[in-house]
Structure 1
Amino acid sequence: MTRVVVLGEFRVDRLVAPLRRGGADVVVLTSVELESFLGPDVECGVLPSALNERAVVRLLGEYGADIAVPNLGCPGQEQFLPVYARAAACLRAAGRRMPVHSAGFAGLASDKVAFHEVARRRGWPVPRAVVCAAAGAVREAVRALGFPVLVKEARSEFHAGRHYVRDAVHLGRVCGEVSCPVLVQQAVEGEEFAVEFLSGASRTVAWPVASLGRLDSDCAPGRRVRVAPAALPTRARAELTAAVTDMVETFRPWGPWQMDFAVTDDGRLQVIELNGRLGGVSNMSWAGTGLDPHAAHGAAVLGRTPTSPRAGRVALELPVPNGVVLPPAPAGTGLTHFPGNPANRGPFIGGYHRAVLGVPAARATAVRTWLAALPAEALLNSPREAAAQLARGTHALEQGGVPVIS
């Protein structure tokens, strides 16, 4: 029996299930207690809070791993990706396998400064920005770019190290807090999007593009109403496809990854960030296509070539305050709540969770009526915003919900 060791707990229940269906003996190394959550058939161990490649190889040897699966996404684990990439070569020499991104791609996905510098060299469209090696250079960079700006620490967790700076007073506070180097980036005006990928030896597949709503100073897309699929302007779509193709051909991602980008008000693409893991839109990807990215990753680990996901429904994601119970969804749709659990602690921290409504195009009118009848306290934001996003998703679905690459 193949022994698979999963490194990290992010939504691990959705990853473990296909591994076990494939006949694997699964061990999960985690920073929290998961035994009662995953059940007695899954062995659990401790994932250290600090790792280097030698420690990774030694740890996997102790657990007798045939295959090691990086599973990033929980606090404190974001910067393990480059370590896993370096450890992979040692594991191959020992007869073990770790499907992980190349060291070059891991560097882009875990260092915002490195990503910006490579993007500029390769012609990927990114916002205007200045790299600052010391805090004293930040003010000069802001003078060159103009307010508002984003100040991003090079290596930081997904929930930290990013500051929207609107004026000189705020800039003074931020300069005293950040760890250099930092990227001082022009704040883009437009709409934010995300797309998830799964890469293997022979192909990369993409889930439909998701709209995360209009960019704002909160930098918290999870608090907005989000929808997939979302259509892009022709020019932005072509720019996105070109950039993704170059990333895949040049830097050889292997496993799940995700890109955040914006489309400006004049229809131009601006790549915001690259992540070497699945992110916050996986619930929509699952609801809209019927193929869970986490489950597809688990199947790919065992050698199954992923199929190209196709949108069959609009996936409308609603941020719901914890404790609020939404009324039953209209017939012919599917409403799924994603509350917090030990493998996804975000809802415990933020005070809200995400509910995803799967909507066939023919049921859009019924859902608009349902949204209009929701009480004001049912959502973090207005039902009107949800109705507008539903209309955009329905339009994209009727266009075919074509993925970025196929």
Structure 2
Amino acid sequence: MTAEIQVTRALFDDVMVPNYAPAKLIPVKGQGARVWDQEGREYIDFAGGIAVSSLGHCHPALVNALKTQAEKLWHLSNVLTNEPALRLAKKLVDATFAEKVYFCNSGAEANEAAFKLVRRWALDNFDESKQEIISFGKSFHGRTFFTVTVGGQASYSDGFGPKPGAIVHAEFNNLDSVKALISDKTCAIVVEPIQGEGGIIPGDAAFLKGLRELCDQHNALLVFDEVQTGVGRTGQLYAYMNYGVTPDILTTAKSLGGGFPVGAMLTTTAIAQHLKVGTHGSTYGGNPLACAVAEAAIDTINTPEVLEGVLKNEAIFRECLATINAEHKVFAEVRGKGMLLGAVLNEQYKGRSREFFLAAADHGLFALVAGTDVVRFAPSLVITEAEIREGMKRFASAVAQVVKG
């Protein structure tokens, strides 16, 4: 008879690779924007699994989709297609600029596919010299070796040997820095419309429009990484819709599955044709379970009620943060849009975002950081006003704790 395993935080240190340092508490149940740990303590969730839990925990539409599909079909491989994948692809195409969809399991995989596609597109249409990718400092595009190198944070890509070449980094929101780098050897510009891990830094409208124009002038593709900004998080289904700038390729994940692993790359028919049969793939990509859940997420989120609600919730967040800041004077500004917000610490508290993050947990609130200077909030898109205000009361106590030392 197998002995029952005692699940404690200490077990993590015994059996898990130490690339993470999770909190001491272990959540066991969630409902909406609330989570309970092993001890029965309740938390308000302003983190959303890092902008993933778009409809909170155990949303009935997602639970029902998962249960229903689980009794039908789980996995096939891409030797065969399946109904949920085709329905989800059709809905994504109908709702965006895209004409073709590629499914995978994560944001990193979606970006990996996008970066391989821009290189293949350039090789097919031009020659081997047109392979350079322009990205931006402080950007983040995933943890595969290709995506982490395109990302603009060397600390994530250093220490693993020779990096993929023909990747250069300009300064975000500085169009002149891009003009200094772009040439006929450029195959693509890759950009987050709002930099997430880099500090919740929105792209200027003129900057993003300028990137579109530069790509058109130099026969390069514009890739929008919307892994964190997509699926309603900014009050539009995708953030590009806020700017009036249409990319050639868009990547999406996180909120797309509401917590179930799924990612997608969206593009046009003309560009998609360069990923011919056998050039790229994913064993689990587009599996029926993931696509059924993602379809339910899209159906629920892509409505005027939810998207307008995201902007109403943003206003409540900003109001509460302004009240906290009026008393404690810790933030220089609040950046971001919708349910992707960053409270930027002022000079007095610079470098101390983790202290606020830890204090929040002490007071029953899950928050995030975006670097050492920004406290990040990425909750459920359908979080209630009561939950926001209760969470902000707890955050106010956490801020007071840090301020008082």
TM-score computed with the length of structure 1 as normaliser: 0.29
The structure with more strand, counted as a fraction of residues = 1
TM-score computed with the length of structure 2 as normaliser: 0.29
Structure number with higher relative contact order (C-alpha < 8 Å, ≥ 6 residues apart): 2
